[in-house]
Amino acid sequence: MNTDNFSSSRRTFLKNSAALAGATLLGTPAVRASAHLTGSDILKIALVGCGSRGAGAIVNALRADKRVQLVAMADAFADQLATTHSTLLKITDIKDAVRVPESHMFVGFDGYKEAIALADVVILATPPAFRPLHFDAVVAAGKHTFMEKPLASDAPGIRQVLATGEAASRKNLKVSVGLQNRYDPAFIELKERLQDGQIGEIVSATDYYLIGPVRHVDRLPGQTEMEYQMRNWRYFNWLWAGSPAALQIHNTDIVNWVKESYPVRAQGMGGRSGSYAPGYGDIFDNFFIEYEYADGTKLNSQIRSIAGTWNRGGATFIGTEGRADAAAKTISDLGGNGRWRSESRANSYQLQHDQFFAAIREDTPMNDTEWAAMSTMTTILGRMAAHSGMLIEWEDALNSELSILPETFAWDAAPPTLPDNEGRYPIPIPGQSPTL
């Protein structure tokens, strides 16, 4: 039965699921998680979140292993689920593995529960606001997880994801997170070369995500405020997690990966510089964040999503003896003379799924939760610093009790940010917005 309301409050969920995770960590021995536990070598997959990223992930999953089937789909919106299902059936090399009858298509906030129950492997690709809740449910059910980044919208969500990830390890469940650069041979080699000192000591890094406007969805007659925000989720911080998380995280994660650490503090600035009509949510369209690592190294993070502006993406490193460009996958000396260029053209999206399903089949360790959650937390730290206009320490941010999510997920529930009489939403104001 489909349901459209999720009646439990977020506070109750966080309390109860944290207790469950703790009990799992203390009392459940590791078990061998395998498709063979069900007596079949077919791995059944459920897709939760049927937007474009979910569609891409399930295509990679169905191509990763010849003995997999998509058996269930869940989404808040029936039209989005139907569109993705129809599209998958038109892809020649995977259509036979799409085995989703109408009775296995679940719509509404609660649909994820029924989809999870039918699967061995669950792909989570909803907006990040729902990731802690859904990940907890997957691990509680004893299923393997592939989940898209970012992993939460706020610090309480990150702490819950970390606890659930530990429970997954205790249960010997495989977890992969969609920060696919860590699976790319070119990025792996770049990281090794930087750590071998090929540009000397790294003294600073910069990452860029400079693009045009993110996709906006117009309000339709008859929509509740919750439905409108869910449809237009990229323009609301509680759903989108902000541009540092939703856009820049890939590049910031590369810097954390090379540094093998996370920033100890951040300060920054940002705001709304583009021209917006009413209905364009509460997000910033530009950020400049300065992250500082324990060794004094700075990461300067530039983000902009404004029409008619210069575009650039990727991360760069400056060392005492050279520089590296992660987007171009090159290393040069300080004069710009090339030292190394990767020739790899690997599809990192597919490689990640190939390795994920191999880990399930072969029962080899795989759990990306901790580092992916910490990179997500890095971007949340940056957003918090820019929104508040304050210098914020890592530990203070990670332990923050500030939640930006609604207490209840339901179509008639009030989202945490609401428009005024002209349809304009309150934008965070540095110096006035809550810090922690």
Give the CATH number of the domain where residue 217 resides: 3.30.360.10
Residues 198 and 300 in one domain: yes
Q: Is 146 within a domain?
A: yes
CA-based end-to-end distance of the chain: 40
Residues 128 and 261 in one domain: no
Residues 248 and 320 in one domain: yes
Q: Which phi and psi (to 5°) does residue 197 adopt?
A: 90, 25
Taking a C-beta distance cutoff of 8 angstroms, is the pair 382, 389 a contact?
no
CATH number at residue 62: 3.40.50.720
Residues 107 and 69 in one domain: yes
Residues 358 and 336 in one domain: no
Query: Alpha-carbon distance 255 to 157, whole Å?
Result: 23
Residues 151 and 296 in one domain: no
Q: How many domains does the chain have?
A: 2
pLDDT(410) > 70: yes
Query: Alpha-carbon distance 137 to 132, whole Å?
Result: 9
Query: Alpha-carbon distance 300 to 205, whole Å?
Result: 6
Residues 311 and 234 in one domain: yes
Q: Is 332 within a domain?
A: yes
Query: Alpha-carbon distance 351 to 373, whole Å?
Result: 21
- DSSP-derived 3-state class of residue 121: strand
Q: Which two tokens stand for residue 206?
A: 């910069």
Taking a C-beta distance cutoff of 8 angstroms, is the pair 106, 79 a contact?
no
204: part of which helix (H) or strand (E)? strand 202-211
Q: Which two tokens stand for residue 372?
A: 């992916």
Q: Is 29 within a domain?
A: yes
Q: Is 412 within a domain?
A: no
Residues 73 and 114 in one domain: yes
Helix pair angle (52-64, 348-362), 10° resolution: 50
pLDDT(25) > 70: no
Residues 47 and 105 in one domain: yes
Query: Alpha-carbon distance 430 to 16, whole Å?
Result: 34
Average pLDDT, stretch 311-337?
97
pLDDT band at 23 (very low <50, low <70, confident <90, very high): very low
Question: Using one digit for the tens of pLDDT, what is the confidence trace for 344-355?
Answer: 999 999 999 999
Q: Is 435 within a domain?
A: no
The pLDDT, as a whole number, for residue 9 is 43
Residues 10 and 157 in one domain: yes
pLDDT band at 12 (very low <50, low <70, confident <90, very high): very low
Q: What is the pTM of this model?
A: 0.91
Residues 173 and 203 in one domain: no
- Domain extent, residue 245, equals 185-344+378-392
Residues 6+ apart with CB under 8 A from 282: 235, 236, 237, 417, 425, 426, 427, 428
If you average pLDDT over every residue of the chain, what do you get? 92
The pLDDT, as a whole number, for residue 6 is 36
Q: Is 415 within a domain?
A: no
The pLDDT, as a whole number, for residue 278 is 87
350: part of which helix (H) or strand (E)? helix 348-362
pLDDT(27) > 50: no
Q: Is 212 within a domain?
A: yes
